[in-house]
A and B are shown apart, each in its own frame.
Chain A
């Protein structure tokens, strides 16, 4: 039976066609033009293409003292010092005696014998030439030659490597990614000096043409997962990529879930460690945040510093983090549920002091909790957005207004302030910021449930969240693994951080043949020879 065609589908298809046509028109003009051996024609075309682009520099000069040539580059993304001293001087300097044999083309001669530039490429189409100009290369056109030279001397001002602001460690490397994808990849390469570290680059964004690179360790990452990542990245059709979050949103498994199924980090050591666990990294140009997939629930509660501190301390800290994650999620709703439905559950003396404190307050506990939580979130948001010197003032006013004045005026009860502040602190113990977002947001429906159904509602909500979590998958890996489905070996790195010498195998998401991470029997003991 033939399916009836819906109106929406027709409209959607039409829009898709429109979009495709626009893209085609753009490239068609470039593709139609063929490079000629007459420099003035090429120049005229380039001037037409870059009309109104004041940052494009088109510099005519005489190459090797006898041919007219043209250097085209974008000011600011080309290393002009290099261009001036190593390229133009070589080609123009009358003191530089070069014997030009007439039997080869001038472009080939320059490429092979004159220029001491590492990344050099001969290009035969105008389309490619324009693209490489925009990527930061300098393009050399020579009169009488159809081919042009693209010199990979991109450069310009970039932020230097600095300590990441979002992931601060006490012990561990202080390098963070920058906005330059090449720098970022070099930071990764420094940590994994093996030919097995493979990379694949894509240009994504019809307009922005952003470089996106996926990286993985061959033999450790599962090929199927690599293929899946490759497919999902290739599938992306978008006009621009401003940040890696664009990529994240377009490849993640559960777009509607509050929980992130893609991890982001600013730290090269985290990416390197992830690759060694069989994960795949996705770099994106112009952002210091690299992505890594797949990711599991427990990874969100781990900090890279867990592996840099001694394992006893890390295990303790992981316990603290888990407890406070639970507190961040359910503390206000438990308080609301218990004080409005299950007063029996509170120890008598505690109840008496809660009663004393709640006596003057006008709102029901649910409303009180919502007011406080929303105010707290607003304060936090204000603290982030406001300029640094003002931010401090906001936090002082906030602390005074909520913490003291509201309690003294009898609008808000003191126990509620305590609960909300503990919740606030608890949400900061979660190392992954986007995971903490999920916890912060889910708090509100739970408060609603607590206010209308009591502990029963809270239980229902938490069971719902857990059901969702065990249902989630990140690139084929169950989100709650290795706890559900259970993998006993994997538990060494979930709640406890086992000593490094006892974590003999990689987590279960790697391929079998490369399972061993550390051979057995490396527990340090005195006098051992090995």
Chain B
């Protein structure tokens, strides 16, 4: 018989227990990557009977580097994602119904885009935002997109030529093209603060059969879709928010027959609330600087006076963009996406208390004073366009 010292026996027993704990517990919530269905994007739409249609776009694994040579052309035709959809009474219920149809566990940890159908967005997002915000798997930096004029699932199903996952293209386009990264986090903050309304990015189907394109911003009012502003006006929004930190702005130069383009180097904006004769007024000050990027007028931009002419035209153009944006938000949509109310609540709290109740009526009629001070710092490598003959250049 095996004789074991008592001291060692104790050690052996504890060792065995630890080993059993590790090996027999079934690795409680272990999930192999092969058993995951990676949701790259999902959409919420209205379904008949007040129900919710929930759709998910799921990554299809390509099968790896296995036999790299043989795959070749064949794998290119294969789609890299699949869209599943189900109807339920609320987001959780709908997701459960999708899971029933799917052999792998749905995994929301890498969802980077959430699309709301227009119809649903007009009805309000409350229930979705709660379920998204409550679930620890979700990322708060997930982009929020409204499908302009269509159902979310239609955008989810559309291909995009460059990216492997089309919604990845959507995400990149919001950053590069629109310039705003409108996400769940911002939307939740906006809706829980006073005097500011949330925004989302608007996308619509492209002209051709496939693809999609940006369509400006979707404006919310109390978490209900209130309207859209186009990309031109979205730039106005960026100027007001001080987010137009890079990019290009172009303007015709009146009287000089040509266009000047400016590369934006820096930008900021200040929203200053004021009570003028007992009436709330907003002053917006937009500052910025940039350098000449293109010039096909005949002006010699190495001459400071000519720069001033161009600068004036650019300022005019910015003013136009901003005015258009404000007018749209005030008159057409009636949604305070700029946070004018927020400015009042922060800088004039006593007045805000009186205004708060009526802000919905005040905002569309609010007087906004705009001052734009955009400066051109350098003219680039050349003064006049290089192709001009000497006598064609206008020095003054």
A interface residues, Cβ below 8 angstroms from B: 8, 339-341, 343-344, 348, 351-352, 354-361, 364-366, 407-408, 410, 413-414, 448-449, 451-454
Structural contact, B33 and A354, CB atoms closer than 8 A: yes
Binding site for A on B (CB under 8 A): 5, 21-23, 25, 27, 29-34, 36, 38, 40, 59, 61-67, 107, 109-110, 112, 137, 139, 164-165
Given A341-B31, A343-B33, A451-B30, A355–B61 Cβ distance below 8 Å? yes
Give min CB distance, A341 to chain B, whole Å.
6
A169→B15 CA distance, assembly (Å) = 43
Give the Cβ gap from B57 to chain A, nearest Cβ, in Å: 13
Contact across chains for A356 and B62 when beta carbons are under 8 A apart: yes
- Closest residue of chain A to B22 (Cβ to Cβ) is A452
Among A344, A348, A449, A453, which residue has the most Cβ atoms of chain B within 10 A?
A: A348
Given A344-B137, A414-B64: A359 in contact with B29 (beta carbons within 8 A): no
Contacting pair A360 B33 (CB below 8 A): no
Bound Cα distance from A360 to B62, whole angstroms? 10
Partner of B32, one of A8, A364, A448, A453: A364
Given A355-B38, A453-B22, 6 extra CB contacts under 8 A: A341-B30, A344-B139, A348-B112, A358-B32, A359-B62, A360-B66
The CA of A354 and the CA of B65, in the complex, are separated in Å by: 10
Instruction: Give the chain B neighbours of A358 by CB distance below 8 A.
Output: 32-34, 61, 64
List, sorted by A's number, 23 A–B pairs whose CB atoms are closer than 8 Å: A339-B32, A340-B32, A341-B31, A343-B36, A343-B107, A343-B109, A344-B109, A344-B137, A352-B164, A352-B165, A355-B36, A357-B64, A357-B65, A358-B32, A358-B64, A359-B34, A359-B63, A364-B30, A407-B65, A410-B64, A413-B64, A448-B22, A452-B21
Bound Cα distance A340, B109 (Å):
13
Q: A residues within 8 A CB of B109?
A: 343-344
Chain A to chain B: the 5 pairs with minimum beta-carbon distance, closest first:
A344-B109, A359-B61, A357-B64, A452-B22, A348-B110
Chain B interface main SS type: loop
- Chain B residues with Cβ below 8 Å from A361 are 34
Contacts of B29 in A (CB 8 A): 341
Residues on B with C-beta less than 8 A from A365 are: 32-33
| Cross-chain contact B61 with A408 (CB below 8 angstroms) | no
Cα distance A355–B32 in the bound complex, in angstroms = 10
Q: Which B residue's beta carbon lies closest to that of A409? A: B66
A452 touches B23 (CB 8 A): yes
Q: Do B67 and A408 touch across chains, with their CB atoms under 8 A apart?
A: yes
Report A475 CB to chain B, min CB distance, Å.
Answer: 26
A340, B26: Cα distance in complex, Å: 13
CB distance from B341 to the nearest CB of A (A): 36
A351 & B38 in contact (Cβ 8 Å cutoff): yes
Which B residues are CB-close (under 8 A) to A364? 30, 32
Q: How far is the CA of A52 from the CA of B38 in the complex (A)?
A: 80
CA distance in complex: A344, B64 (Å) = 21
Residues of chain A lying within 8 A (CB to CB) of residue B107? 343
Instruction: Give bound CA distance, A365 to B32, whole Å.
Output: 7
Contact of B27 among A410, A414, A451 (CB under 8 A): A451
Q: State whether B33 touches A452 (Cβ < 8 A).
A: no
Among A339, A359, A448, A452, point to the contact of B64 (Cβ < 8 A): A359
Min distance, Cβ A361 to any Cβ of chain B, angstroms: 7
Given the complex of chains A and B, what is the CA–CA distance between A361 and B32 in angstroms?
11
Given contacts A355-B59, A360-B63, A408-B66, contact A343 B34 (CB under 8 A): no
Q: Which residues of B contact A414 (CB under 8 A)?
A: 64-65
| Nearest chain B CB to A421 CB, angstrom units | 16
By a CB distance below 8 angstroms, the chain A residues around B65 are 356-357, 407, 414
Chain A residue nearest in CB terms to B112 = A348
B66:A452 contact, CB within 8 angstroms: no
When A352-B38, A364-B32, A452-B23 are in contact, do A344 and B110 touch as well, CB less than 8 Å? yes
Residue in chain A with minimal CB distance to B164:
A352
Hey, which chain A residues are within 8 Å of B110, CB to CB?
343-344, 348, 351
Q: What are the residues of chain A within 8 A of B165 when measuring CB–CB?
A: 352
Q: How far is the CB of A144 from chain B (nearest CB, A)?
A: 62
Interfacial chain B residues near A357, Cβ < 8 Å: 64-65
Complex: how many Å from CA A57 to CA B29?
76
Report A399 CB to chain B, min CB distance, Å. 17
Instruction: Give the distance to chain B from A266, nearest Cβ to Cβ, in Å.
Output: 37
Are A452 and B63 in contact, with the CB atoms below 8 A?
no
Task: Identify B61's interface contact among A356, A407, A449, A451, CB under 8 A.
Answer: A356
Q: How far is the CB of B204 from chain A (nearest CB, A)?
A: 25
CA distance A407 to B67 in the complex (A): 9
Counting chain B CB atoms within 10 Å of each CB, the highest count among A8, A352, A365, A448 belongs to: A352
* Central interface residue in B21, B30, B36, by most chain A CB within 10 Å: B30
CA A312 to CA B255, docked complex, whole Å: 64
| Chain B contacts for A410, CB-based, 8 A | 64, 66
- Select the residue from A339, A356, A410, A448 with max chain B CB neighbours within 10 A: A356
CA distance A452 to B22 in the complex (A): 6
Which residue of the partner chain B has the closest CB to A348? B110
Measured CB to CB, the nearest residue on chain A to B29 is A341
**Complex Cα spacing A343 to B109, Å:** 7
B34–A452 CB distance below 8 A: no
B residues near A341, Cβ cutoff 8 Å: 29-31
How far is A356 from B139 in the complex, measured between Cα atoms in Å? Answer: 23
Q: Most B CB atoms within 10 A — which of A341, A343, A365?
A: A343
Interface-central residue, B5, B22, B66, by most chain A CB under 10 Å: B66
A452 to B26, CA, bound (A): 8
Q: Which of B34, B59, B137 contacts A352 (CB 8 A)?
A: B59
Task: Tell me the nearest residue of chain B to A364, going by C-beta.
Answer: B32
What is the CB-to-nearest-CB distance from A302 to chain B, in angstroms, rounded to a whole number?
A: 35
Q: Given A348-B112, A452-B23: A355 and B33 within 8 A (CB)?
A: yes
Q: Which A residues are CB-close (under 8 A) to B67?
A: 408
A514 to B121 CA separation, bound complex (whole angstroms): 80
- In the bound assembly, the distance between CA atoms of A358 and B40 in angstroms comes to 18
- CB-CB < 8 A to B21: which residues of A? 452
User: How far apart sit A476 and B32, CA to CA, in the bound complex (Å)?
Assistant: 47
Q: Across the interface, which residues of B come within 8 angstroms of A352, CB to CB?
A: 38, 59, 164-165
Report the bound CA distance from A413 to B33 in whole Å. Answer: 12
| A392–B306 alpha-carbon span in the complex (Å) | 76
Q: Are A340 and B30 in contact (CB under 8 A)?
A: yes
A451 to B110, alpha carbons, bound, how many Å?
A: 22
Query: Which residue in chain B gives the minimum CB-CB distance to A354?
Result: B33
* Separation of A8 and B38 alpha carbons in the complex (Å): 62
Expressed in whole angstroms, the Cα–Cα distance for A454 and B109 within the complex equals 17
Closest to B111 in A: A348
A341 to B32, CA, bound (A): 8
